[in-house]
Each structure stands twice: as C-alpha cells, then as structure tokens.
Amino acid sequence: MYAKLYTKLSLGIANNFFVKNGISSNAKKLGVSRFVAADNLADSLIVLDNLEAEGKLYSLALLGEFVNKKETAQAMTNGIIESLEYLSDHNKAGYMSIKPSQFGLGIDYELALENALAIASKAKETKAHICLDMENTPFVDGTIGLFKDLRAKGFDNVSTVLQSYLRRSLDDMKDLLEPNQNIILRIVKGAYKEDNDNAYQRQGKIEEKLLEMIYMGLEAGAKINIATHDPQIIKETSAFIRGAKLAKESYEYQMLFGVSPKAQNNIVTGGHPLRVYVPYGQDWYGYFSRRLAERPANLAFVLKGLFN
C-alpha cells in the first residue's frame, strides 16, 4: 500500500511545473544517464553495440511525449524516421519503441495516423519493427486504433503494449487476439498515474492480471514480450515457457536500460531472448520521473546526488 502511495505522490509531484523546471536543468547531478542511454544517436549506437556483444537485443526509443503542437509532432516524427535510417545506414537491426502522444495523438487522430504511416513505411523499407508504447488512459483507445489501422494497411512490422493494471486490458487483449493470432504484444504492469475507476491499485491483483494476460497471449499463439523486472513473474513465466516447450520466436523478455542489470544477464545466461529498451534524446523528464516513481530507492539516490 505504501509503495503504491509513493508512486502516486511522486508522479503527482513530477507533473508540477516548478519541480519540472528545477529538475530538467540538473540532468547530470540527478544521474539521468543511469536510465537514459545517450542524448544523441551516435552515442546511442555505442550502447547498442555493447548490448549486442552481450547477446542482448534492443529497442531504441527517441524520448518525447505528450506533444501538443503540430510542429513538435512533425519534428518528433522526423526524428524517429531519422533514427530508423541511422540504424539501417549503420547495419544495425531496426527496432524502435515510439509513443503515440509524441507524434500527435494528443492533437488529432488523423494527424497521428498520418505520422504513424510515415514511420511504419520507413520501418518497412529498412526492415525494422516498431512498437507503439502504451501511455495513460486518454491515449489507450487511440493507440489501439493506430495499431489496428496500421495492421489493416498491411504493416505487420508493428506491435503494441497492454498494461495489466488497467481494468479494460483483458478485454482489449481478447479483442486483439481474436482476429489476428499472429500479432506481437508487449505486456507490462503499467507506469502511469491512474485512478481506481480505470486501474487496479493492488500489486497482487496487477501481478495476477499480468500473468493471466501473458498466458492468454502465449496460448493463443501470439508472440508475447514479457516486459518486467519482477523476479517472481520471471520465475513463473520461465517455468511455463519450459513446460510448454515454447520456441524462442514465441516470446521475449524485455527490460529497461539501467534497471536490474543482474536479472538481465540471468535471462541471457538462462537461454531466453532479452530485449533492452534503450531511450535516448533530450526530452527525458517524463521517462525519468516514471523510473523514480517505480522505486523509492531511486529517489533517495537522486536526492543524494543533488545535495552532494
């Protein structure tokens, strides 16, 4: 209960204008680089090379979210397309995670679809995969809509995310699984501040739903990306995967850059595919504050850095 209260409080404080400005100008002192790989593409490439050398896959993510100006949404779209070209030009596997609110979903659905189509086309041209990250409740319908529209236009190089804390997610999952069993879905607990009407608040319930959704997807033949650092979930799902003798193409574990490095190595040495979510760019505030909200110890670490 206290953990959940901490998460709510810290996400609420993080949205405060003065806190945002104060924190944004202190990236180095705050230790942002623990969670954010780099602020430019060239430096991100070094991180991707290192991950590959360790037998890990990656998903590159250009930071940026909750954009409310058309020009910014266009600039973000261009930045994502540039990243896909950069990966291709450097003979790197193309795999990116993108946030619908970053390329216009908060402004207008048609604008977001137009930008998503431009990104998905570049991804197809460069043999890349894109995953539509899932944001908070106001963006869920739109994100699922974008996913369906892209698939309907033949883009099978696109996946999306469902969050087990949302009460609606099991229905969304059934809806997505029925017509297209060959889809790829990332399943997560959920990282945003959501109220009781929309989301389960109890950790036990969120974990129970997470497992239910993972098993439902795997049993339906979808590729399921199990995105968690939770040791109990990893233990239970890896036993399930072994028991069901699932091929490595049917699932991945996914973790965040800088989080639980030991668990990341254990996944690889255990013979499972692991993909690391690698955020880069300048607009790190929202992403960074969610990482702090997930773990009180992270805030203590940050405060120590600020006052030392």
Ligand X SMILES: Cc1cc2nc3c(=O)[nH]c(=O)nc-3n(C[C@H](O)[C@H](O)[C@H](O)COP(=O)(O)OP(=O)(O)OC[C@H]3O[C@@H](n4cnc5c(N)ncnc54)[C@H](O)[C@@H]3O)c2cc1C
Name the catalytic one among 151, 172, 186, 290: 186
Q: How far is the CB of 39 from ligand X (least distance, A)?
A: 20
- Name residues contacting ligand X, limited to 214-253 (CB under 6 A): 227-230
Stretch of residues binding ligand X (CB under 6 A), selected from 80-88, 103-111, 116-124, 255-263: 255-263
Check if 133 is active-site: yes
Name the catalytic one among 43, 89, 108, 133: 133
Q: How far is the CB of 71 from ligand X (least distance, A)?
A: 25
Contact status: 194 vs ligand X (CB under 6 A):
no
Contact status: 188 vs ligand X (CB under 6 A):
yes
Check if 186 is active-site: yes
Nearer to ligand X, 83 or 254 (CB): 254
Contact status: 83 vs ligand X (CB under 6 A):
no
Quote the crossing angle between the two packed helices 109-125 and 140-152, to the nearest 10°.
50
Is residue 278 a contact partner of residue 60, using CB atoms and an 8 Å limit?
A: yes
Nearer to ligand X, 123 or 134 (CB): 134
C-alpha 37/C-alpha 51 separation (Å) is 11
Q: Which residue has the tokens 């390329």?
A: 103
Count of residues interacting with ligand X (CB under 6 A):
23
Is residue 44 a contact partner of residue 278, using CB atoms and an 8 Å limit?
A: yes
Contact status: 189 vs ligand X (CB under 6 A):
yes
The residues carrying an active-site annotation are 133, 186
Residues binding ligand X (CB under 6 A):
133-134, 161, 163, 188-192, 227-230, 254-256, 259-260, 277, 291, 294-295, 298
